[in-house]
Copies of this chain bind each other. A is one copy, B any other.
């Protein structure tokens, strides 16, 4: 149904960044510099256009950042859900948790400027933008809670664990990695194994009884 006019938009305009290109660039800048330090003129400069032109694609700065926040969570959520459901039916609790942890961490560190931007700037954006992002956030949190509750009901977790608190500790720890992780010093996937080792088995050496 699209072959009658072949390509609607290709390299017709000189820069051809477009709405999605602006969003990509904004996400990268927000991740690198934080919310307050990134002005519309900085975004426009990086995109090769003028500040006013952004308003052809977006109604306000808040609209840009809101779109980035939602897309960021969506990206992690999709990868985490897919990693978990890709596990075989009889997979151990340990294997499932390792898959979920790796999916979350790699989404932040390897894959998506949107996801990392979300973690870094969520606490800096205006309240109204945070509120708009909350439903998407809650859905991802519920995914984790249901996974953890499933494992607890199977008897795989220590029985007195508080699911909500455990999720907050786990995701908080993984997200904090953004503040210090240097890809030159190690891979995200190796790091996710370290996190899984610590969270699943602890750091004390109990072999001596």
Contacts and interface: CB of A to CB of B under 8 A. Distances in A.
A198 B97 CA distance: 15
A14 interface: no
A94 B166 contact: no
Interface stretch (A2-10, A33-41, A80-88, A109-117): A33-41
Interface string A115-130: 0000010011000000
A202 B202 contact: yes
Given A120-B123, A166-B198, A176-B173, A203 B36 contact: no
29 contacts: A35-B36, A36-B36, A93-B204, A94-B204, A120-B123, A123-B179, A156-B204, A156-B205, A157-B203, A157-B204, A158-B205, A159-B205, A165-B191, A166-B198, A168-B177, A168-B180, A169-B173, A169-B194, A169-B195, A172-B176, A172-B180, A173-B173, A173-B176, A176-B176, A198-B202, A199-B202, A200-B204, A201-B201, A202-B202
A199 B201 CA distance: 8
A162 to B, nearest CB: 7
B124 A34 contact: yes
A172 B161 CA distance: 21
**A-B pairs with the 8 shortest C-beta distances?**
A36-B36, A172-B176, A173-B173, A202-B202, A201-B202, A176-B176, A158-B205, A34-B124
